[in-house]
Amino acid sequence: MSSKRSTIPLLFTFTILGLSGIVAQVVLLRELLILFLGNELSIGIILANWLVLEAAGALVLGHRIELITRRIEAYTILSLISSLGLPVSIFLTRTITNLVGTGFVEGSGLLQMSSLSFLILLPVSITHGALFTSGCKVFAEWSGREEKATGKVYIYEILGTTIGGALVTFALFPYFHSFHIAFVIILLNCVILPLLLIYKSRRSLYTMVLFSLTLAITIGTTLLFVYNLPDKIHKQSLKLQWQDQKVLFSKNSQYGNITVTKHEEQYNFFSNGIPVIATPTPDTESVESFVHFPMLIHPNPRKVLVLSGGAGGIINEILKHPVDKIDYIELDPLILEALDSFPTPITTEELHSRRVSITNMDGRLFLKQTQLAYDVIFVGLDNPSDLQTNRLFTREFFSLAKKRLNQEGIIVISAPGSLSYLNEEMKKLNRSILNALTSVYASLYIIPGDTNIFIASHQDMLSSASQEDILGRFEERHIETSLFTSFYIEYRLHERWKQWFNDSISRTDVEMNLDFKPKAVFYSLSLWHSMYSPRIGDFFSKFENLNITTLGLASGILIFIFFLTHLIWSGFSSRIAVPLSIATTGFAGMIFDLVLIFCFQVLYGYVYSIIGLLIASFMAGSGAGGVAITISIDRIKKGLRLFFLLELALVLFAASLPLLFFKFIPTAEMASSSVEAFFFTLCFLGGCIVGAQFPLANKLILGKTRSVGKTAGVLYASDLIGGFIGGMIGGALLLPVLGLTWVCFVVIVFKSASLSVLGLSARKIHNIVRY
């Protein structure tokens, strides 16, 4: 009975371990995303750094636990350090610009992002990784079942991760700021840790001191909430983060963080650190050019659709034309709430005009559902630097928008440009978007500038649009503008600019931008690095040349090297076979996660509102797979053969994903709930295969060594290192460059290599383990 009483708080502790880990990861990810100005490339780097730090903690700090006799006390100290480190890391994220300089962050490339995120994540993630190894050793001692220890800890940590993923999505981020969440995590750990110390069979003075310390931290954290100190810390950190600007509003929604600042008389609205709206004085030249050129090219624009970014100037300029109706589609309702909270004459007119209808919905989903047709469709975003934005710049989107245009309807988009010099990255970005446009629309009108304006129509009407017609309509409609004048129109539409732009990009041969091969995202990131980090920009240019022939050759060489190693040093190949399989499984698991999130975002566009559930489904599958193997591990007679089958299952799962998304999902007419259930099921199945391997691998290695801590550390580190590689190159490089199909092929290559090593070493492993 005592054993049962002592095990229950331990299992609760492992559940809190998983919950704390996922919550801390998501909180710091969102904070760092704001620091790096919403650059999506930083997400892969942040996740990769988290994983490699956890691996270091599991492998280095965790092994030290083997030498410590007071393992429960050591586990308690690591838990306290990890949970107390979370508010420290949040505060550091918001104030680090004061230490390294604003320019260093704004112009940061891969190296700067890696170093800053590594430093910020260090206090939390390295101790969190060590807790897994430490927890395995503690559970093994209490239960007396070493072969089940790693599987049990893994299962309960996954359970906590699953709960935490749902909790952070629905209960925490929509209602609480980061410091509230961080101090709640401290309370959770401080409530459960004393139970471990109470149920410890032999208590010492050291145990009682730790017990008193956890109680003191619990009381202190509770008092922080009583005196509202988390709010005060939050406001002070925001003040330091935004430095010269006064923070008026900062709140999380299902789609991200919205912050409003004021500098002198100017309101600035930020979404995940990216400036999206400036009132009452917007970028006048850019807004006036973007709106008035296409509105004047169209002979009679009555019905207008604006997809994102319409408030703060664009709608105000459209209202100067004789339009009957403007449909404004904005994804995040919190943006409109913030605009209503800090109104200006422009935004008040835009949001409350009788001619303006506002809908909170993904723009692409709106086009699928509406039966309305429009004279002009504006895409209010100007740089496809992330997957969410890129969905409005692909061939598939342009085909969808074409169905919602009237007979003489036009679609208007913009892209980064220049009237003095276009570097290779900017040429490729513009060419990729133009290739997608011209594959759908018969007529194209280009207005080069610091922001290029592309106007397309499915009728051959734009070729006849003359400068005289535009000037005539400008005078006829009596439009009042600041910088958009007759002279400005003649200057921007001069034939030399079009000729120069066409000559500049004519020799640029790139692939068109597609849903499942978002080349524009890659070129946008390349452009960013060419400006702020030229060496990394050169690497991006070389990486673009990666193709399937190179991958096939690399895989052949990799397998040959492993075969040669086995012939020369068979003992070494047998020792690395299982950890290598777990590492490639970690890589595959990360890629599966990224691919499913990527595909959901591409197809349906609201992944940020359910991303917690997607991750939770994958983690739940991992836990279910781990439970199934752990429960039946004593009855498994041919463990090595089962391990082989799981490896093959991962290969088949990778091969099936492109078939599902290219042949079935895009054409299927499914209800929203059915779509979500389908993705949750895929996440769960992928997680099951990944999770089932871990406890089985633990039993295979324990056949050779009885060191539970060492075994857990090696396997956990192998899993995380594989995930690190997948996170670092998967989302930011492989998916945009290779696309969905060949990324899945990369997974097959990696798993084939580990299968080869496992096959070569099978007899030796079998003789040692003797299942």
Render pLDDT for 667-680 as a digit per residue (tens, 0 to 9). Answer: 445 556 677 788 88
Contacts of 669 (CB under 8 A, 6+ apart): none
Residue found by looking up tokens 């075994």 in the block: 711
What is the structure's pLDDT at 770? 45
Q: Give the residue, 282 or 473, on which the prediction is more confident.
A: 473
What is the structure's pLDDT at 497? 92
Q: What does the alpha-carbon distance between residue 185 and residue 468 come to, in Å, rounded to a whole number?
A: 66
Sign of CA dihedral 319, 323, 327, 329: negative
Q: Decide the pairing of beta strands 246-253 and 356-360.
A: unpaired
Angle between helices 71-100 and 110-143 (to 10 degrees): 170
Q: What does the alpha-carbon distance between residue 644 and residue 164 come to, in Å, rounded to a whole number?
A: 32
Q: In what order do the strands lie in the sheet with 266-271?
A: 246-253, 256-263, 266-271, 274-279
pTM check: above 0.85? no
Render pLDDT for 459-484 as a digit per residue (tens, 0 to 9). Answer: 877 877 889 999 999 999 999 999 99
Hey, how many other C-beta atoms are within 10 angstroms of the C-beta on 569? 11
Mean pLDDT over 236-252 rounds to 89
| Torsion, CA 720, CA 724, CA 727, CA 729, rounded to 10 | -150
What is the structure's pLDDT at 137? 80
Q: If pLDDT is split at 50, 70 and 90, which confidence band does 2 have?
A: very low
171-180, 366-375, 649-658: least confident range = 171-180
Q: If pLDDT is split at 50, 70 and 90, which confidence band does 7 have?
A: low
What is the structure's pLDDT at 575? 66
Q: What does the alpha-carbon distance between residue 145 and residue 521 come to, in Å, rounded to a whole number?
A: 50
Q: What are phi and psi of 599, to 5 degrees?
A: -65, -40
Q: What does the alpha-carbon distance between residue 571 and residue 565 come to, in Å, rounded to a whole number?
A: 10
What is each CA distance from 214 to 123, 192, 196, 401, 461, in whole angstroms?
Answer: 19, 9, 11, 59, 74
Structure tokens that stand for 635 in this block: 């009855």
**Range of 20-34, 345-359, 627-641, 736-750 with top mean pLDDT:** 345-359
Q: What are phi and psi of 101, to 5 degrees?
A: 100, 140
Q: What does the alpha-carbon distance between residue 680 and residue 676 come to, in Å, rounded to a whole number?
A: 6
Structure tokens that stand for 201 in this block: 């069979």
Q: Is pLDDT at 148 greater than 80 in this prediction? A: no
What is the structure's pLDDT at 655? 93
Residue found by looking up tokens 């070389």 in the block: 542
Q: Give the residue, 366 or 540, on which the prediction is more confident.
A: 366
CB 740 within 8 A of CB 516: yes
Q: What does the alpha-carbon distance between residue 321 and residue 306 come to, in Å, rounded to a whole number?
A: 15
Q: Is pLDDT at 733 greater than 50 in this prediction? A: yes
**CA contacts within 13 A on the Cβ side of 1:** 0
Q: What does the alpha-carbon distance between residue 112 and residue 104 come to, in Å, rounded to a whole number?
A: 8
Beta partners for residue 268, in sequence order: 261, 278
Q: What does the alpha-carbon distance between residue 688 and residue 394 come to, in Å, rounded to a whole number?
A: 34
CA angle centred on 220, ends 219 and 222, rounded to 5°: 65
What is the structure's pLDDT at 216? 94
What is the structure's pLDDT at 73? 86
CA 769 to chain centre: 41
Q: What is the DSSP letter of 667?
A: G
Q: What does the alpha-carbon distance between residue 692 and residue 712 come to, in Å, rounded to a whole number?
A: 15
Q: Is pLDDT at 231 greater than 70 in this prediction? A: yes
Q: What does the alpha-carbon distance between residue 479 and residue 726 come to, in Å, rounded to a whole number?
A: 53
Structure tokens that stand for 210 in this block: 């730790």
Contacts of 151 (CB under 8 A, 6+ apart): 626, 629, 630, 633, 694, 695, 698
Mean pLDDT over 325-352 rounds to 91
What is the structure's pLDDT at 751? 87
Q: What does the alpha-carbon distance between residue 435 and residue 450 come to, in Å, rounded to a whole number?
A: 20
Query: In a 3-state reduction of DSSP, which class is residue 401?
Result: helix
What is the structure's pLDDT at 670? 54
Angle between helices 672-702 and 146-167 (to 10 degrees): 160
**How confident is the prediction for the chain on average, in pLDDT?**
83
Preceding peptide of 280 cis, ω within 30°: yes
Burial class (CB in 10 A: 0-12, 13-18, 19+), 211: buried
Query: To which H or E segment does residue 246 belong?
Result: strand 246-253
Render pLDDT for 391-430 as a digit per residue (tens, 0 to 9). Answer: 899 999 999 999 999 989 999 999 999 988 898 999 999 9
What is the structure's pLDDT at 702? 59
Which of 21, 30, 51, 19 minimizes the C-alpha distance to 730?
A: 51
What is each CA distance from 743 to 49, 336, 605, 662, 665, in whole angstroms?
Answer: 21, 38, 21, 14, 18
Q: What does the alpha-carbon distance between residue 439 and residue 74 come to, in Å, rounded to a whole number?
A: 63
CB 462 within 8 A of CB 540: no
Mean pLDDT over 515-526 rounds to 87
CB 199 within 8 A of CB 97: no
Mean pLDDT over 211-240 rounds to 93
Render pLDDT for 86-131 as a digit per residue (tens, 0 to 9). Answer: 999 999 999 988 777 655 455 455 677 888 999 999 999 999 988 9
Which of 256, 239, 213, 190 minimizes the C-alpha distance to 20?
A: 190
Structure tokens that stand for 570 in this block: 């068979």
68-82, 599-613, 684-698: least confident range = 599-613
Structure tokens that stand for 24 in this block: 């801390």
What is each CA distance from 51 to 532, 583, 587, in whole angstroms?
Answer: 26, 12, 11
What is each CA distance from 393 to 356, 381, 440, 447, in whole angstroms?
Answer: 24, 9, 12, 17
Q: What is the DSSP letter of 731?
A: I
CA 470 to chain centre: 43
Which of 334, 298, 294 minimizes the C-alpha distance to 609?
A: 334
CB 732 within 8 A of CB 44: yes
Q: Give the residue, 508 or 89, on which the prediction is more confident.
A: 89
> Residue 259 — left, alpha, or beta (φ > 0 → left; ψ -120 to 50 → alpha)?
beta
Render pLDDT for 177-208 as a digit per residue (tens, 0 to 9). Answer: 899 999 999 999 998 888 777 766 566 777 88
Q: Is pLDDT at 771 greater than 80 in this prediction? A: no
436-450, 479-493, 614-628: least confident range = 614-628
